[in-house]
Amino acid sequence: MKKILILNGPNLNLLGKREPGVYGNQSFEDYFETLKGLFPDIELHYFQSNHEGALIDKIHEVGFTFDGIVINAGGYTHTSIALADALSAVTTPAVEVHISNIHARETFRHHSYLTSRCKGMICGLGLKGYELAVRTF
């Protein structure tokens, strides 16, 4: 059975409450139940942290044994060379996901330090992007 980690960064614990016009009304925990129903033959794991080091530690923990990492690093996407280095250091492939279209937002969001370390990036498709990312593994 494939094992895939969904890794969410800062402020994504507020999905369903935070800026519903941008991020929707559903919590990620509720959506994660939907994902598990869509992929009964995949062992899905979920981890969220507002702390960069905790995200790096989780990448290190699963990065040699899991079949995939779906990562939405939130604001760290645009600032964290350390997260990019962690993705480079492991053998597990990753797909970058963003709920909103980062290229249609503020200019500082247009650059991602993670994209070159991932096998692909999905943005602007809402929570559906996570489903599409899981399908790539």
- Among 120, 124, 16, 1, CA closest to 70: 120
- The reply to whether 72 sits in an annotated binding site is yes
Both tokens of 28, joined, read 């990620």
> Positive or negative, the Cα torsion across 33, 90, 113, 68?
negative
> 128-135 vs 28-38: helix axis angle to the nearest 10?
40
Active site residue 98: yes
- The reply to whether 85 sits in an annotated binding site is yes
**Catalytic-role residue among 31, 76, 98, 130:** 98
- The reply to whether 100 sits in an annotated binding site is yes
Q: Which residues are annotated as a binding site for substrate?
A: 72, 78, 85, 99-100, 109
* Residues with catalytic function: 23, 98
